[in-house]
Structure 1
Amino acid sequence: MEIVMLRDVIEEDLEIFFEQQMDTTANFMAAFTTMDPSDNVAFKAHWEKILNNEAIIKKTVMYGGKVAGYVSSFEQFGEREVSYWIGREYWGKGVATEALSQFLDCITIRPLYARAAKDNIASIRVLEKCGFEIKGEDKGYSNSRSEEVEEFILKLSQ
């Protein structure tokens, strides 16, 4: 298996993140995505805010020397949350689980929360493998699905 590593996000990663974000299958699975994944201007503005916000912890996921996605932690709904995006070509290889596990070793903030669409079984499995437990449910409008979608709220206590 190729090695998964985390490193700081650099400007050159953004082009790859943008390409990954335009994948319609990945957008459907993630559910809670940007209004228009093909809007590069909005994408760049969003990432400029992320890069300039020291309260957001963000890391690029490297797999076999290539940018596979990112993992981040930020404040949302008054709680500290974790989120990740892995390019579809890296799905099913353990990249998300290993990247999230490494990220959780780096940040000691607990509790941490995560959200996943109820039908995103793979993401729920990644979170559970990393110690998250389903603690609640919510629903919200999904831009990628053009409908309200139910989601699980997961919590990592330790």
Structure 2
Amino acid sequence: KCEQERDNVTVKHMIGAFIPQCDEEGHYRPLQCHPSTGYCWCVNSTGQKIEGTNTPPGTKTPNCEAPERRKTKCEQERDNVTVKHMIGAFIPQCDEEGHYRPLQCHPSTGYCWCVDCMGREIAGTNTPPGTKTPNCKAAGKKQWH
């Protein structure tokens, strides 16, 4: 399929058109780069672009052997606050897979609370500083799926 697509573009002499890069066996190379624009991206075995791998010219090409997974809502929120260097702002706590940790604590205020899988506070779980942290396993039984 890669070679067919490449030959199709080449035969039509389309100036500036992207020409797929194929390996020796006729499969799509995982890393594709557009010579005219300088953009590079990763593709799957059928030549479909893998979301989130597009890199502009002059930047590091994506690692297509292990393309980065898209950031979760928790990771995006955390990174957004971190990038803005907002002193005293709450930074969501995410686990290794990018999900919200059930127990969230605000280091500046000392308050802790439980959240559901979407990062929303579970009512009645907010505890002030110096008190026992809430039991999120019990609080979250109805909230987590």
Between Structure 1 and Structure 2, whose CA radius of gyration is higher?
2
TM-score by length of 1: 0.21
Larger RCO (CA within 8 A; separation ≥ 6): 1
Q: Which protein is richer in strand relative to its size? A: 1
